[in-house]
Amino acid sequence: MRRTLILGATSAIAAATARLLTERGDALYLVARDAAKLGAVAQDLRARGAAVQSAVADLTDTKRHEALLAAAADALGGLDVVLIAYGTLADQAACEADYRVAERELRTNLLSVVSLLTHLANRMEAQRSGTIAVISSVAGDRGRASNYVYGSAKGALSLFAQGLRNRLHPSGVRVVTIKPGLVDTPMTAHLKKNPLFASPEAVAKGVVRALDGGPEVVYLPAFWHLVMLGIRALPEGLFKRLRL
């Protein structure tokens, strides 16, 4: 039985992943900010037979991270797998109009995650085992006019995870970067849907496969790897004209 911590457990992808992990018998510790939503997710998992513990926390409060991770490890008797699954989809226009909004988005999507990754890396490096998975985004593969604040946070996060992966390789700790494309979740409810959108359940299956092994950088669904290869290959002069 794996001991799994999920940070941002009420996101649609995280909740779908937790249901799959429940079927496998993982012991789960869930953390999220919204007490009511967290309670509902935990109750659903318990009804499915899961051993679930949980804690309410604002994960942007970096001062609480060390104590929060210690509490999760104590409750589970150690940590085998950690999934970091929270974030916000920045309002690009608001970020352009007010730096303070952009800074808040960068703190949520990048700096608070870097804080968690740093604490987790030191903990798992000492125990010389474990898997840390972080949900980044295809938006971090190339800066686009329509969402470059969100994209820059995810791009920097992917690079940080890459460096951490190289640092922790000698200790046997896996660092997995998960890059979903468009996913039909409450975060994207305001966006017009098209055939590129995937369900949270489909993405969750890929997350579980990534936790189990294989490549440590994963695009979900997999076709996004080819899509982003093409987008990254476009010359800057042409890319600017596309207004993506």
* Residue 53: pLDDT over 80: yes
Residues annotated as catalytic (active site), given as ranges: 150
Name the residue with tokens 């898997």. 131
HSE-up of residue 212 (Cα within 13 Å, Cβ side): 11
From residue 223, give the alpha-carbon distance in Å to each of 159, 181, 196, 229: 21, 9, 10, 10
Per-residue pLDDT, 217: 98
pLDDT tens sequence across 69-110: 999 999 999 999 999 999 999 899 999 999 999 999 999 999
pLDDT band at 232 (very low <50, low <70, confident <90, very high): very high
Per-residue pLDDT, 243: 73
The stretch 197-216 carries a mean pLDDT of 96
The stretch 161-171 carries a mean pLDDT of 98
- Give yes or no for a cis peptide into 221 (omega within 30° of 0): yes
Per-residue pLDDT, 192: 84
| Structure tokens belonging to residue 79 | 């940590």
For the chain, domain boundaries: 3-242
What is the CATH code of the structural domain delimited by 3-242? 3.40.50.720
User: What are 217's strand-pairing partners?
Assistant: 177
Give the DSSP letter of residue 185.
Answer: S
pLDDT band at 15 (very low <50, low <70, confident <90, very high): very high
pLDDT band at 22 (very low <50, low <70, confident <90, very high): very high
Predicted TM-score (pTM) of this structure: 0.94
HSE-up of residue 214 (Cα within 13 Å, Cβ side): 12
pLDDT tens sequence across 168-204: 999 999 999 999 999 988 888 888 888 889 999 999 9
pLDDT tens sequence across 102-146: 999 999 999 999 999 999 999 999 999 999 999 999 999 999 999
